[in-house]
A and B are shown apart, each in its own frame.
Chain A
Amino acid sequence: MSLSRREFLAGLASVALVGCSRKTERPITGGFVDDGGARGHRLRDRAALPSPRRTVRVPVVIVGGGIAGLSAAWWLRRGGFRDFVVLELEEQAGGNSRWGENEVSAYPWAAHYVPLPGRKATLVRALFEELGVLRDGAWAETALAFSPEERIFRWGRWHEGFEGALAETAAERAEFGRFHERMAEMAATGEFTIPSALGVRPSALDSLSIEAWLAREGFRTPALRWYVDYACRDDYGALARDTSAWAGVHYFASREEEEGPLTWPEGNGWVVRRLLERLDGHVRTGAMVHRVERRGTGARVLAGDTEYLAEAVVWAAPSFVASRVVEGAPPVDFAYSPWLTANLTLDRPPDERGAEPAWDNVLHDSPSLGYVVANHQSLSTHRDRSVWTYYLPLSHLPPREGRTLLLRRSWAEWREAILADLERAHPDLRRCVSRLDVMRMGHAMVRPEPGFLSSPARERLRAAEGPVFYAHSDVSGLSLFEEAQHHGVRAAEGVLRRLG
């Protein structure tokens, strides 16, 4: 009896085919939801822009309807000042806190939580007191992330918690312990505050990357290095080797509260919604500002076919746009991290192994950060359908190449890449997802590279005394809710001083 090699291989292949054959899949709908990129690029490409057909006189124009711009507006209103308008390029205000909603849940497009503000973050506390989230010193339990807060997929199954699943050996646990001690020492210097402007001073830490700093301090285990790298990708969209050590330390040494964070189904969109309710009538969306010029002591702002004659301008859009649009704007050389986010609608829970579904579901061996379950903050005990927000910083490429990749790939290609990434943790995911929408953000957040603290451009933007005040979070170099709010309010105060 003999079996030829060819027959054997053919037999194996047929077994393999039987094993792999897929059930018929139902289609997954969706597409790209971003459109601002194309509009923004008209500015870059100096496309023909309309000439003004009507003139509006308004004392204050706020350019940009993200957290910085809305915070500036909130602060003006809080002080009783009503003569301002907010101009937003997109059809929806919110910037990085934009949100969406479908029949299953509201969901975020980017920023999805605010860490519990410490004592120094007085403005954040003031806002949340006004919104009823902080009452008599107690946080509303329904706004705090529900248990279980996070889990991590590693070794083929989900593990509850974060550090517990990362630090497995005694050596790793010891190193995490030493790392947290080191961060507590750093926190005690008072240099790492939120908002950062309260504590920041020139620092030697800013001259090297956080990766180099870890090596210098003798932190060697891959577990800890992965943890720090993850933190940099999460907060800055950059790898540890591209992140300033000062910014890396800031992530770990600036938070005072153990509890938290605050979150809502639509992420920070919840805060935007509350702010928009308070700013009813002040916000114009779909308004692309293409020129800001000095006019006497004030400024002339051109948006679409409208000319605004203002006494002061709050520039709360990314600062690199100002250098193209605003007359006399300081040139900036910041790097911006490109990001991709996606919202997946699931009609039933997918298969999985290990710990229960959490709010934040992190994939260990992935370029993505994993996904956040938008309707985790629900009081129901039973959940059939859900919306997942998937986060992918394109941090492994230089920003420019990342942006090219972002635009070059089709929606179907991104869909396949995202599903393939998640399928490792949920093998039957395709049979659960009915919709997958993708948002591409070429300049999602400013990147705090080594040397960013001593950047003269940042200093010039911050010191501007009008008529244009710069309020975007890139002025601080850290793309955080608290930074955007701080600079928005700072700019609003500058405006009020100027107007007397």
Chain B
Amino acid sequence: MHVALFLTVLLIAACGLIYELVAGALASYLLGDSVTQFSTVIGTYLFAMGIGSWLSRFITRGVVARFVAIELMVAVVGGLSSTLLFLSFAYTDSFRFLLYALVTVIGIFVGLEIPLLMRILRARYEFKDVVANVLTFDYLGALGASLLFPIVLVPMLGLARAALLFGIVNAAVALWSTWLFRETLGGARRMYQAACVGVLLLLGGVMAGAERITRTAEADIYADQVIFSRNSPYQRIVLTAWRDDLRLFLNGHLQFSSRDEYRYHEALVHPGLAALPGARRVLVLGGGDGLAVREVLRYPGVREVVLVDLDPEMTRLFSTHRSLTALNQGALNSPRVRVVNADAFQWIARSAEVFDFVVVDLPDPSNYAVGKLYTTTFYRMLARHVSRDGLVVVQSTSPLFARTAYWSIVRTLDEAGLRTWPYHLYVPSFGEWGFVLAGRAEYSPPTRLPPGLRFLTPAGVPQLFHFPADMLPVEAEPNRLNDQVLVRYYGRDWERIHR
């Protein structure tokens, strides 16, 4: 009999510690900065346990019944904690609030457990034995939990199911307690047992569906249904769909939404290319989705388009997947298009080809590796591939959200000896977005555009070049291979927005 009682202590101690570890790990995983997350979670939890211990003095009657009730409540709240946290991170803005609220509630319940149990046991054993045995098994349970958590639970079950499993253990302990203390509980026993079974069924049911819940929540970030996801050697490609909205994410960053990508791609290509009626050869760097190429192919005068994209997985996907070829109108399969899978910098360093129009549609300069493609050296080398009257257009992040970064790209093109014509537009899924046209000759906006456009009009093109006061040029250094200021500007600008 007494071994069973102390085993109860061991199990509830283990459960208590697991909930705390789950909360700490989940917060570090989702919010980063593990030192802060673990410190604040543990601190809040221990403090809440203190509150629970203090509150225990107010429980004077029916201690056993209360103990069983508390076990059940810990089982429900603790067991569901990590699933709730996952969902709140995915679908609400109150993750932190819920985190500390849950940690406090669980802490208070767990803090109540041991004092109540000690009082129950005091009637049966000598006080010195109660204290010694309860605390010994409490700490042993903690040790067991802290070893199980990283070695077995997280790798094999994941955070959501680990918490649920221990919720079930908690509920099982409650059920067992109704049997252990059956004389004390008396007639209320049946009711408590029914409640225990109910909680066990609930947690078991959630556990069965937990995998799907967390997968949905993890894919939250992609709020819609994931229809394709693959890790290429270069990036993680994820495609989501919701009704008529198809979205592409590379490494979690939105690349386009099919609802408004026409705004982005029309504005990327036509202000430059429509102003070059003699353009025959076009180069597209990046843009493996084929959407910029789709716009380029509207010009019958363009004989050849070379698309250079690093990732063969991307160009393969966008030349074979049915809903994607519908979106880019089969651009990558056009006989006028040559797809090259190569690193853009290496390719322009080696190639001797000359183009009338160059579209540089590369990922934002968020790290030093990509930042190389926004340097004076890169643009100087690129300029050698542009015909005398030709133009280059560069995707240049947001002049509103990353204003210094945007104007640094303009400065870099200036520094590389090109004349620049910055412009911008509004893309609902991105916000304000900026491009820069650059070349050696004169530029004046086109008066005619190809037919079939949904966004641009000849009268609208000159307006793109107007910058309102909050996007006007700011001091910025050019970006060089040996001093990539742009990456620092970009990080700083976006950090300010996200705060």
Chain A residue at minimal CB-CB distance from B380: A141
Across the interface, which residues of A come within 8 angstroms of B373, CB to CB? 381
Name A147's contact: one of B6, B343, B349, B483 (CB within 8 Å). B483
A381 to B286, CA, bound (A): 12
Q: Residue on B with the closest CB to A380? A: B343
Interchain CA distance A44-B7 in the complex, whole Å: 76
A170 at interface (Cβ–Cβ under 8 A)? no
| Residue B169, interface by CB 8 Å | no
Which chain A residues border B325 with CB–CB below 8 Å?
none
The prevalent SS among residues of A at the interface is loop
- B339 CB, nearest partner CB in chain A, Å: 18
Nearest CB in chain A: distance from B349 CB, A? 6
Digit string of A376-413 for contact with B (CB within 8 Å is 1, else 0)? 00011111100000000000000000000000000000
B351 interfacial contact with A, CB 8 Å: no
Q: What residue in chain A is nearest B3 (Cβ atoms)? A: A1
> Does A342 sit within 8 A of B, measured CB to CB?
no
Is A144 interfacial (CB 8 A cutoff)? yes
A381→B482 contact, CB < 8 A: no
Q: Does B371 contact A (CB under 8 A)?
A: yes
Most B-side CB within 10 Å, residue of A19, A142, A260, A381: A381
Task: State whether the Cβ of B370 lies closer than 8 Å to any Cβ in chain A.
Answer: yes
> Which chain B residues (365-399) contact chain A, with CB distance < 8 Å?
367-373, 375-377
Any B CB within 8 A of the CB of A146: yes
**CA of A364 to CA of B233 in the docked complex: distance in angstroms?**
32
Contact status A146-B482, CB under 8 Å = yes
Residues of A with C-beta under 8 A to B487: 147
In whole angstroms, what is the CA distance A344 to B194 when docked? 65
Q: Is A204 an interface residue (CB 8 A)?
A: no
- 0 or 1 for each of A128-145: is its CB under 8 Å from B? (1 = yes): 000000000000011011
- Closest Cβ–Cβ distance, residue A259 to chain B (whole Å): 7
For B, the interface residue count at a CB cutoff of 8 angstroms equals: 29
Q: Are B310 and A382 in contact (CB under 8 A)?
A: yes
Q: Which residues on the A side are within 8 Å of B481 (C-beta)?
A: 141-142, 144, 146-147
Interface contact B147-A1, CB-CB below 8 Å: no
A381 to B309, CA, bound (A): 12
CA distance A259 to B482 in the complex (A): 8
Of A15, A382, A383, most B-chain CB atoms within 10 Å: A382
- At the interface, yes or no: B484 with Cβ under 8 Å from chain A? yes
Contact across chains for B151 and A147 when beta carbons are under 8 A apart:
no
Residues of A within 8 A of B371 (CB): 147
Chain B residues, Cβ within 8 Å of A141? 375-377, 480-482
Interface residue? B465 (CB, 8 A): no
Docked Cα-Cα span, A142 to B343, in Å, equals 17
Contact indicator A381/B484 (Cβ below 8 Å): no
Question: Chain B contact residues: over half helix, strand or loop, or mixed?
Answer: helix
Closest to B140 in A: A3
Say yes or no: is B444 at the interface (Cβ < 8 Å to chain A).
no
Residue A18 is within 8 A (CB to CB) of chain B in the complex: yes
With both chains docked as a complex, state the minimum distance between the C-beta of A108 and any C-beta of chain B, in angstroms.
18
Contact B345 A379 (CB under 8 A): yes
Is B367 a contact partner of A356 (Cβ separation < 8 A)?
yes
Q: A18-B151, A19-B151 are in contact. Are A381 and B7 (CB under 8 A)?
A: no
**Which residues in window 1-56 of A have CB below 8 A to B?**
1, 15, 18-19
Known: A19-B151, A144-B482, A145-B482. A381 touches B310 (CB 8 A): yes
Question: How many Å lie between the Cα of A4 and that of B169 in the bound state?
Answer: 26
Interface status of A328 (Cβ within 8 A of chain B): no
Asked whether any CB of chain A lies closer than 8 Å to the CB of B344, the reply is yes
For A384, list chain B residues within 8 Å (CB).
233
Check: B346 CB closer than 8 A to any chain A CB. Answer: yes
Question: B377 and A380: CB pair below 8 A?
Answer: no
Query: What residue in chain B is nearest A355 (Cβ atoms)?
Result: B368
A1, A19, A383, A384 pick with most chain B CB within 10 angstroms: A1
Contact indicator A147/B377 (Cβ below 8 Å): no
The complex places the Cα of A1 from the Cα of B137 at a distance, in Å, of 11
Greatest chain A CB density within 10 A among B7, B147, B376 is at B147
| Residue in chain B with minimal CB distance to A139 | B482
Within 8 A of A (CB), among B113-151: 147, 151
Question: 1/0 contact trace for A142-156 toward B, CB 8 Å?
Answer: 101111110000000
- Give the CA-CA distance A149 to B485 in the complex, in Å: 12
Q: Considering the chains assembled together, what is the distance between the CA atoms of A149 and B484 in angstroms?
A: 10
User: Does chain A have a CB within 8 A of B234?
Assistant: yes
Q: A141-B480, A144-B482, A146-B482 are in contact. Are A382 and B345 (CB under 8 A)?
A: no
| CB contact under 8 A between A381 and B375, given known A141-B481, A145-B482 | no
Interfacial chain A residues near B480, Cβ < 8 Å: 141, 144
Q: How far is the CB of B45 from chain A (nearest CB, A)?
A: 24
Instruction: Name the A residues within 8 Å of B349 (CB-CB).
Output: 379
A residues near B482, Cβ cutoff 8 Å: 141, 144-147, 149, 259-260
Kindly report which residue of chain B lies nearest to residue A18, judged by CB atoms: B151
Q: Which residues of A contact B233 (CB under 8 A)?
A: 384
Least CB distance, A149 to chain B, in whole angstroms: 8
Picked from A1, A146, A382, the residue with its CB within 8 Å of the CB of B6 is A1
Q: Which residue of A lies closest to B150 (CB)?
A: A19
Contact with B along A275-290 (1 / 0, CB 8 A): 0000000000000000
* Contact residues of A between 199 and 235, Cβ < 8 Å to B: none
Complex Cα distance A141/B481, Å?
7
B372 touches A15 (CB 8 A): no
**B234 with A380: CB separation less than 8 A:** no
A 321-344 to B, binary, CB cutoff 8 A, 1 in contact else 0: 000000000000000000000000
Question: How far, in angstroms, from A142 to B377 measured CA to CA in the complex?
Answer: 8
- For B147, the chain A residues whose CB sits under 8 A away are 15
Q: B368 to A356, Cβ gap below 8 A? A: yes
Chain B contacts with A in 226-262, Cβ cutoff 8 A = 233-234
Q: Which of B454-487 contact A (CB under 8 A)?
A: 480-484, 487
Shortest Cβ distance from residue B414 to the other chain A in the assembled complex, whole angstroms: 16
**Once bound together, how far apart are the Cα atoms of A144 and B375, in whole Å?**
13
Chain A positions 253 through 269: 1 when the CB is less than 8 Å from some CB of chain B, otherwise 0: 00000011000000000
- B residues within 8 A CB of A15? 147, 151
In the bound assembly, the distance between CA atoms of A1 and B5 in angstroms comes to 11
Extra contacts, 12 of them, besides A18-B151, A141-B377, A381-B344 (Cβ < 8 A), are: A144-B481, A146-B372, A147-B371, A147-B483, A148-B368, A259-B482, A379-B346, A379-B349, A381-B310, A381-B372, A381-B373, A382-B369
Q: List 22 A-B contacts (CB under 8 A).
A: A141-B375, A141-B377, A141-B482, A142-B377, A145-B482, A146-B484, A147-B368, A147-B484, A147-B487, A149-B482, A259-B483, A260-B482, A356-B368, A379-B345, A379-B349, A379-B377, A380-B345, A381-B343, A381-B345, A381-B373, A382-B234, A383-B369
Pairs A-B, 10 closest by C-beta atoms:
A144-B482, A147-B484, A1-B3, A379-B345, A381-B369, A141-B377, A380-B343, A146-B481, A141-B481, A147-B368
